[in-house]
Chains A and B, each alone.
Chain A
Amino acid sequence: MTESSLEHNSSQQLESAPKSVKFSPLFAIFVQTTQSLYPPAMATSRGETAATDTTVCIHCGDPIRGDGVVEDGRVFCCNGCRAVYNILSRSDACPAPVIRPVSDKRFAYLDEPGVIERLREFSDGTITAVTFSVPQMHCSSCVWLLENLYRFDSGILHSRADFLQKTITLRYAEQKTTLRKVVELLASLGYEPMLTLESLEKNPRRNPDRSLYAKIGIAGFCFGNIMILSFPEYFSGGAVEPALKSLFSYVILALSLPVVFYSSTGYFRSAASGLRRRVVNIDVPIAIGIVILFVRSLVDIVGETGSGYMDSMTGLVFFLLIGRLFQNRTYDSLNFDRTYTSYFPLAVATRRNGSESTVPVTSLHPGDRMIIRNNEIVPADAVLMAGDAAIDYGFVTGESRTVTGVPGDRIHAGGRQQGSAIELEVVKAVSQSYLTQLWNDAAFRTEPQGNLSRLSNAVGKYFTAGIFLVAAGTGAYWFPRDAATAWNAITAVLIVACPCALALATPFAFGTALRVFGKGRLYAKNADVVESMSRIRTVVLDKTGTLTHAGGSGIRFVGDPLSTDERIVVKSLVRNSHHPLSRVIHDSLEREPALPVAGYEELPNAGIAGVVQGMSVRVGSCAFAGRQEWTARTKSSDPESSAADDPARRPPDVEHSDRPHEQRETRSEASQRVYVSFNGRPRGYFSVAGKYREGIAPLVDRLRRTYDVLVLSGDSDRERNALHERFGGDVPLHFNQSPADKLAFVADRQRQGDSVLMVGDGLNDAGALKQADVGIALTDDTTAFSPACDAILDGSRLPWLDKYLSFARSSRTIVLLAYAISVAYNSIGLSFAVRGALSPIVAAILMPVSSITVVAFASLTLRALARKRGLL
């Protein structure tokens, strides 16, 4: 028994959208505007849903979702596989282009020099390099095809795909081809690049940690060699020949230079920028430690008074850099910095003096006429001039709900037209529209405060003050007695106090938590987010799309898939009923035409029946349209049959009585089933998920024990009672909140000294997500859009939110304990140092041991804790 999806089932879209090449309108949404971002955990879950008898692609062997591509009786998962199969099957002949690029005037704007100038990465007058985002890339054939583009267009010199980031970088000869031709080729192959406003911003995603690897490599190399060269001195008891000893010392000195002047530059820079802002961050004592270690060792080596502490210094830098690497667990395919520009089109068709042309949206001015076709996004606030508007504001509110409009109506930017083309007159420029002006707010202009942990900075301040105090005390004690020992003792204090373990505790503890969260499908941007989560006091929840399901996402048909004819019949019947479930089914079949129904009848508490094209159809409760044994047979194959498994609870059926409001609300917790039978034979059922996400009410209950919980909604307050019913009367609810209101609300709470966690999903939450101390974007499929945020949470794991927050708090406790260990080690070191008796070998043992203890303590305790709480 297979499950077939209707087009609204979001998890199925996740799978099928990038593969389908017969672009249905809904697939086209994904193709045009979303960036595929399977995080590692999502990618593994793909295999689980593969049903046993799914057909597989004849070329790559992947299971086929949706319709696939059929040619000569062979079924392919995507156009890429079909093209590759064709090329391979006639490898003797010249691989005549299977697909000829079609000229498409949609891409005419790509001929404009201004657009080319901003899209390209590099040009020397003959060769141009450009990177496109190609979210449709999903299998090895896609990679092969995209890397063999030269077979189709000899002007393309070289192309290289990045599978995880879903990008392709290519170089083409300007004499032989144009940017427009390249894009048209990609589009006709089924890989239309995602050209959004964001593409105009120069290359936002170049990885900065490439230099981090080099720094670690160099620091590790120098550290290892310096250690080996220091061993003779440590273990020979002074029996090394003076000539060799001096040679070793100078080689050590030479090896330490790249570590000080290249590998540790980041710490100097961070300390300097901190001091300029009059903040003593944790990098200040680290930088001081490195400098003192280096200068003291330099003086020792050159003055031949000792062998120096270069091994400790390079080891310190090496460990710190590894901590930095650990802290930045990156999710290649996730993007946390999106603004509206990631979703808005690059260009739009406009009509001037009767002729149509495509212009970049940035050059739209009030008064311009633009043409928006099916599935295109309205890029600016406008007034409808002609055509029937059916605008889906799903991108803005997070809920797919179509709003219709007639000429004269105002259409806000961010809506997506569903249906025939409409003509609009621009009222406001793109950046000044109702939605987009949110990004002019100060919250989006403030530079991020570096990626320094606030906790370690706060401790670092006292720590720095403390060691200076000890150093001054040591100096005051020794100077009157012995100036040489004073210099020894003071530098030794500063060396041993270098907060290596302190600086490692934070990245390893929060970095471990970051990985634990990643396994639980909460993808945090960096380790600092975990720390911010640990100090949250207020949790603000968006309503639409966060507490509720994203529109229509929860409907699917269980049973053998319905044929097109059957879908038409079902739609024709349900369109006559006004019951909410009938409406949901009707909306899910929006592409099918409707036919007249004979003998329609509606039976309260049972269902609806009628005859369409000679076929007798029943849609309704199990008793009315299903059969008990049928239910029993399919129970095992239905993954969401929790309601049916509970014998005390009858499967919720379609109700056609006017039940009291509250009762319907409680029922909507679980999924409901609507059975379908044709000519008396049961065919299967629609599973309709409840309006509210499962586990929301218990989550709010648990959260309220520790946090202030609030709900912000952009909707009117018609659901106030339903929400009160669900969460209890004392959860503050705020309705009619505009995107700017939400931002202001969060900012206001923060001014009162609150740390705010915002959970939202749509672009209308983008301001609040950005302003909040932690903004978590909720998404049901990670291929869909998510606004700029600190973390992305899979919708199904929302009930775990309190677990994550309490784990973040535990991580903070572990960090504080690690600090205590680190301070204990430092005290031992200081007891040597103040006496002027810190020999290089004591420093060389103490430093790595303290670092390893702290790192092991932080990561092992947190892993054990995560396992105990069921997070791992």
Chain B
Amino acid sequence: MDRKTVKNSGSSRRDFIQKGMRLTLGLGLAGVAGIASLNAGRENHVWQIDPFKCVRCGRCADYCVLTPSAVKCFHSYDLCGYCDLCGGYLKPDANELGTAAENQLCPTAAIKRKFVEEPYFEYDIDHELCIGCGKCAEGCTAFGNGSLHLQVSHEFCVNCNQCAIARVCPADAFSLVPASEPYNIKGSFTAEGDEIVF
């Protein structure tokens, strides 16, 4: 017997409910997608640190889902004073102004000190060694110009839905920034309300 010809039979009713529910679910899904898509289609965003909010607490090294952390030290050469007595490179109680391991503040010796001319030195960061602990950034900010600062390196970052460091960042320094401008490098990036000073 053809189902459709039988009125009020069990199977035609079930068919009707099935179809009705399918349509309802489909429309519900379309509705949710529609509302969500009001925010979609714009540029992709990636996680980044505002170096002026960052308090260099050291959590970046511990809370990233990656080991070592995707947060690395970045060096804004524009702001660097090329000091011999570098607060970011040397321990405060260093024996001498040299490259000996016991003098270095960096726990992984990720900062390379290069002689430029008397009495100036260039400091470069090896991101393969850097663990993002921020010790150098703290030293540089406390005693120097603050040219060393922490940034999320997009060479490593897997761009989690919810950044595990952002969740514990005490200064709320993490935010999503447009993927076309993925870095907040000090010098070209300034604190809110500040003008660029050179």
Partners in one complex: no
- Which A residues are closer than 8 A to B by beta carbons? none
- Which B residues are closer than 8 A to A by beta carbons? none
